[in-house]
Chain A
Amino acid sequence: MTTTEPRTGKNLDATELLDDGARHRADLLDDPTEVIPAVALPAVDDAPVRLRKSGTVMPGRAVEPVGVRRRTGDRPPGDSTNLGAAALGGLAVAFLLFGVVGPLAGKLGFVVVAWLAFVGIYALLTSLDNSGPMVRDRIMGVVLASIATVLFGSALVVIFFVVGRGWSAMVHLNFYTKDQSITGPLDGLDSGGILHAVLGTLWMMTICLLITIPLGIACAVFIAVVKGPGSRFVRTIVEAMTALPSIVAGLFILATWILVLGFERSGLAASFALSVMMLPIIVRAADVVLRLVPGTLMEASEALGAPRWRTVWHVILPTSKSGLATAIILGTARGIGETSPVLLTAGVTQSFNANPLNGPMVSLPLQAFLFTRSPQPAFVVRGFGTAAVLMILVLILFVIARVLGGRGPGQLSNSQRRRVLRQSAADARRFAARDEPNAPAPSAPSAPPLQTGNL
C-alpha cells in the first residue's frame, strides 16, 4: 500500500494514470532478450515477410497444436498403491523394532519410527519409476500432509478429551440450570451446576467490553489516524503491554483496587484486571486494521471538507468494521480464558451472585480450575464439563460477533441498503428543491444514489 505517500495533483488525472499504466506494462514486456518488438504484435500478417528480411524465422499464424496441458498437481500413477505399501511397511518396521525382535519400547518412539520408515519406504517406491523432482514433490507432499494431520488431530484431541471427560456431568440438565451452593464433594452429578460461573463469565466479559471497546478503539485511532504527539510512545507501550503476564495484571488490580482503595473482591474488580489484559490486544490489532484503510478515502473525505472526527466516524471506522470486530474478538479470546487475574481479584463463591459490584463471583475458567484440583472424582468430571461449556460459550460468542461485525465494507444488509436509498432520495429531493428555479427536477428519482456505503 503506497497510498499513504503524499501525491501530487497529477495522479488525479485519469488519462495520465492510464498512460502511466500502459508505460509500466510496456516496461515489463521490454525484455532485452526478446526479439519481437512490442509494436510488431498488431501487424501479424506481414510480420513473417518483414522479419525474413532480417534473417529471423518466425512461426506463421498457424500455431502448431499444443499437447495436452501438463497438470503439475497430479499424483503419479500407482501412487495410492505406493502410499498403502509404504504405510504397511512403516508399521511392519516399527513392530519389528518395538517388541517382536528389537529391544525398543515406548509409544512415542513407535510412532516416530513408523513414520520415518513410512516416509523412507514411500520415497524408495516413488523413486522406482519417477524422476527426482517428482520424488521430492511427493516427499514434501507427504510431510506437509502429516504436519496438517498432527495439528488438526491435536485440536480434535483437545476438544474430544475435554468433552469426553466431562460428558457424564454435561448430560445432566441441572449442570446448566443450578449453582454449586448446596452441592458438596460427596454429592452426585445429578446435583448442582455451573450457572453461577456462566453468569460470572458473561458479566465479566460485558464489563470488560464496555471498558475496552471505546478505550481501545479510541487509542488505536489516536495511534494510527490522529498521530498526535506521543503516539509513537503510546504504540511502544501498547506493544510492550501485549506481553504482560496475566498474573501481573491481576496483582496490579489487587494492589490498587482491593488493597489500597479497600474495595472488596468482586466481579467488577476481576473485570478491571481482565480489561488490563485485553486492552493492549485490542489496541494493537485495531491499529493494524486502521492503517489498512486506503489513504485516498481519507483524502476524499477531507477534500470534501469533513473535519477529522467526521472522517474517522463516517469513513475510517465503517471501512474497517470487519477488522475491528476481529480485533475485539482477539481481545475477548485473551480475556475469557484467563484464570489467574480472576483468581486474585474476584474471590470465590459457589452461590449464584448476579451482582458484579458486590460479593465474590467466579468465572468459568476459575471454576474449572477449582473443580479439577479437587481429589473428588465427581468434582474433576464437573471441571472438564465446565471447560467444555466454556468452549461452547466462546464458540457462540464468536459466531455472534462475526455475524454482527464480520461484513466487509460496503456490504450492506437489506435494511441498511433501504436506509441508504432513502437518504439518497432525500438528498436528491433536497438538491432538486434547491435548484427549483432552474429546473423543476424531473430527474431526481432516477439519479444514482450516493454510494455512502462504499466509503
Chain B
Amino acid sequence: MSSVSFASRRRRAAMFAAAVAVGAGAVTIVVPAPPAHAVDYAPINGSGSSWAYNAIVNWQSNGKKFGWTVNYNPNGSSAGRSDFLSTSPTDFAVSDIPFQPHPTDGSAPESPPAGSYAYMPIVAGGTSFMYNLKIGGRRVTNLRLSGENIARIFTGKVSTWNDASIAKDNPGLKLPATKVVPVVRADGSGSSAQFSLWMENQYPSIWHTVYNHPPTGETSQWPSIPGGQAKTGDDGVANYIKQDYGDGAIGYVQYSYAKNAQFPVAKMLNKSGYYVEPTAQNVAVSLLQAKIQTSNPNDPATYLTQQLTDVYNDADKRAYPLSAYSYMILPIGRTPQLAASKAATLGAFGKYLLCDGQDAMDDLGYSPLPKNLVQAGFDQLKRSPGANPGTLDVSQCKNPTFSNTSPNKLADTAPYPQACDKQGPLQCSTGTGGATESTRVSTSAQGGTSSNGSTNGGTNTSNRTTSGGGSTAAAGGGSTASGGGTGAAVNPETGLADGGSSNGGADVPLAGPVSLNSSSDSGWSGSQTFAILGIAMLLAVFVLPALLVRRLGRGGVK
C-alpha cells in the first residue's frame, strides 16, 4: 500500500508540473510519469445512471486517495449503455436495468456480443415514495400505503386522499379530500424501470390499464397518468413535491432526496403485514432474497440479471418490497482497446466499492449490498481482465452488512418494525424519511407512542416473536401515561383531542376531520362575495365624496 501511495504522489507531482506548463500557455499532453515499481493506474471513464451518481462520486473521491482517477458522467442509464457500446466505448457503464435487446419503449435494440460484458451489482436502494400531504395545515409524516394502493395511485386510479382504501391503510389519520397528484419521471430512468418491473410482477391487472407491452412489461419511460405530473430527474420530482403547490403530491425518488428535503416517505406494506420504511437496513434485508439469473447464458436479456420476485414476496417483517440494485457493466475481453493500466484501475476500484465503499451508502441514502450480492459481484469481477482473483475473497471484505465474526450481521442486527406498524387498527405517529416531527394519530389508533420509537423496538430481536399489537400497545400505553387507555375524548366541534397537550407530550394538533379544506382556497361561497362587496362599499365611502366634490365644485365655478 505504501508503494502505491508513493507512486500516486509522484504521479500527482507530474500532473502538477504539467498543469503549470499549460498554465504558462503551452498545450501539453499530460503524461503520467511511469512509476518504477507499482501497479500503474490510468484514469477510467464511465457514464450512466444518475440514480447512482452520489455513490459513485463518493467512491471516486475516496479512490483518488488510492491513486485511481475515475471520471463518471451521470447522463442516464440508457445513455450509459449506449456509450458503452459506441465506437469509442467508455471503460464502464452504470445502469439500473440490463441491456435491452427487445426494448418496449421504441428505442433501438441493444445487443452486445455474448461474453463481452459482465453485470456487477454496485449499490442498492429502495424506491421511496416522497409525499406532501397536510391535514389542517399540519404535515402528515406517517402515511402508510399498501402495494395495491401504490399501484393504483401511480396509474391514476385514486382521485383524492380520502379514498376508502387509503383510509384502511391509515386508521389513525382522517385524510383530507385533497387531490392525489402522482409525480413521475418525465425522462427515461432506471427508477421508473425498477418500479414498473414490480408493478408488472405484483399488480399486472392494474399496471396493464396504462401500459400493456408483454412480455417484460418493464419501461424506463413511465406512461402518462391522468391527473399526474411528469418531472425530469429525481431533483425535479422532489422539487415539485416540496413546493406549497405540491400539496397532495406523491412521487418516487431516491431516499436521500426526501431525507435532505426534510420530507417524509410512505411506509409500504410487506408480505408479513408490516408497513416499513425504505431504510438502508430494510432494503438490505430484503435483498438477501435477490437471485441472479444464470439459466440461459446465451440470452443477454436475462443472463446474470437480477431476479427480484423473492424480494417482492419476502416474508421477513423488515423487508421493504420495492428494493433493487444498480449494475456496473464491466468490459470483458476488450484487451486491445482497454489498456492494462485501465483494467487495473477498474479491478481495484471494483473491489473497493464492493467492500469498504459500501460503508457510506447508508449516509448517502442508499443501502449497502448484502453478502449474496457482494459474492455475485466478486464472481463477475473475477472475469474482468484487471482484477486480481486472489484478492477477491468475501471473507476479507470489509462490508458493513457482514463480517468474519458474524456472517449474517445484517440480518441479526437490523431493527424490527414496531408493533404499531402492523396492519390493523394501530398506527405509529413517528415521522419518516427526513421529517422528524411526528403526526398525531387518532386515539383509537394509538398503540405505541412516539417515545416508543424504532430504536427501542427495533434493536430488541426478541420482538420477532411478538405477533399482535395488543400486548405491546397496552405496555406502551401504561408505561408512558398516555394512549388509548386514558380515554381522551375528541372534541366534536374542533376535532381536537381534549387535553391534547398532555396526551403524548408533543404539541401537535390531532388530525381531525378536515372541514378547513373547503374554506381554504378551493371554493368560492356567497359569504366571500359579500365580503368583496363590503370592501367595495367601504372604498366607495372614501372615494365617491372626493369625486362628487370635484364634480360639484366644477359646476359651482361655472
Contact = CB atoms under 8 A, between A and B. Distances in A.
Query: Are A and B co-members of a single complex?
Result: yes
A440 B235 CA distance: 85
A185 B74 contact: no
B29 A127 contact: no
A258 B50 CA distance: 22
B292 to A, nearest CB: 29
B1 interface: no
Nearest to A187: B61
A357 B53 CA distance: 25
A348 B71 contact: yes
Given A354-B22, A375-B260, A102 B57 contact: no
Given A97-B535, A264-B88, A376-B256, A370 B64 contact: no
Contacts of B50: 373
Nearest to B238: A375
Contacts of A265: 45, 73
A412 interface: no
Contacts of A258: 86, 88
Contacts of B360: 184, 186
B531 A124 contact: no
B210 interface: no
Contacts of B64: 181-182, 351
A370 B74 contact: yes
B521 interface: yes
B541 interface: no
Given A183-B61, A355-B28, A348 B72 contact: yes
A164 to B, nearest CB: 18
B71 A375 contact: no
A352 B546 contact: no
B531 A180 contact: no
Given A101-B531, A348-B72, A374-B53, A124 B87 contact: no
Contacts of A96: 535, 538
A92 B527 CA distance: 21
Given A97-B535, A102-B532, A347-B45, A185 B87 contact: no
A376 B260 contact: yes
Contacts of B65: 182
Contacts of A372: 235
Nearest to A93: B539
A343 B75 contact: yes
B113 interface: no
A259 interface: yes
Contacts of B71: 347-351, 359-360
B543 interface: yes
Interface in B13-64: 15, 18-19, 22-23, 27-30, 43, 45, 47, 50, 53-54, 57-58, 60-62, 64
Nearest to B86: A259
A266 to B, nearest CB: 10
Interface string A422-439: 000000000000000000
B364 interface: yes
A263 B364 contact: no
Interface string A160-203: 00000000000000000000111111110000100000000000
- Residues of A contacting B: mostly: loop
Nearest to A121: B543
Contacts of A370: 74
B254 interface: yes
A355 B62 contact: no
Contacts, number: 138
A375 B43 contact: no
Contacts of B60: 181, 350
B80 to A, nearest CB: 12
A128 B550 contact: yes
Interface string B216-235: 00000000000000000111
B516 interface: no
A186 B234 CA distance: 19
B69 interface: yes
A358 B29 contact: yes
A94 to B, nearest CB: 11
A347 B75 CA distance: 9
A124 B545 CA distance: 11
B58 A186 contact: yes
B179 interface: no
Contacts of A263: 88
Interface residues of A, number: 50
B29 A184 contact: no
B259 interface: yes
Interface residues of B, number: 59
A357 B61 contact: no
B535 A358 contact: no
A357 B27 contact: yes
A101 B535 contact: yes
Contact of B254 (A102, A105, A375): A375
A377 interface: yes
Contacts of B261: 375
A353 interface: yes
B30 A184 contact: no
Contacts of A373: 50, 74, 233-235
Contact of B61 (A93, A106, A181, A356): A181
A264 B42 CA distance: 15
A186 B531 contact: no
A386 to B, nearest CB: 15
A9 interface: no
Interface in A83-139: 93, 96-97, 101-103, 105-106, 124, 127-128
A101 B75 CA distance: 53
Contacts of B256: 375-376
A260 B87 CA distance: 7
Interface string B233-265: 111001000000000000000101101110000
Given A101-B535, A354-B19, A184 B58 contact: yes
A258 B82 CA distance: 13
A182 B64 CA distance: 6
A59 interface: no
B45 A360 contact: yes
A325 B547 CA distance: 58
B96 to A, nearest CB: 16
B535 A375 contact: no
A55 interface: no
B205 interface: no
B512 interface: no
Q: Which of A124, A184, A351, A352 has most chain B Cβ within 10 Å?
A: A184
B365 interface: yes
A355 B260 contact: no
A181 B61 CA distance: 5
Contacts of A181: 60-61, 64, 69
Nearest to B62: A184
A343 B45 CA distance: 14
Contacts of B62: 182, 184
Contacts of B45: 264-265, 347, 359-360
A352 B18 CA distance: 11
Contacts of B87: 259-260, 262
* 10 closest A-B pairs by CB: A348-B73, A103-B528, A184-B61, A354-B22, A184-B58, A349-B71, A375-B256, A375-B257, A354-B19, A181-B64
22 contacts: A93-B539, A101-B531, A102-B535, A103-B528, A105-B521, A124-B546, A127-B550, A181-B60, A182-B61, A183-B61, A259-B86, A259-B87, A262-B88, A349-B71, A350-B60, A350-B61, A354-B19, A355-B22, A358-B30, A359-B30, A360-B45, A375-B259
Given A101-B531, A262-B88, 17 more contacts: A93-B535, A127-B550, A183-B61, A186-B58, A260-B87, A263-B88, A348-B71, A350-B61, A352-B19, A354-B30, A355-B22, A359-B71, A370-B74, A373-B234, A375-B257, A375-B261, A375-B365
Interface of B: 15, 18-19, 22-23, 27-30, 43, 45, 47, 50, 53-54, 57-58, 60-62, 64-65, 69, 71-75, 86-88, 233-235, 238, 254, 256-257, 259-261, 360, 363-365, 520-521, 527-528, 531-532, 534-535, 538-539, 543, 546-547, 550
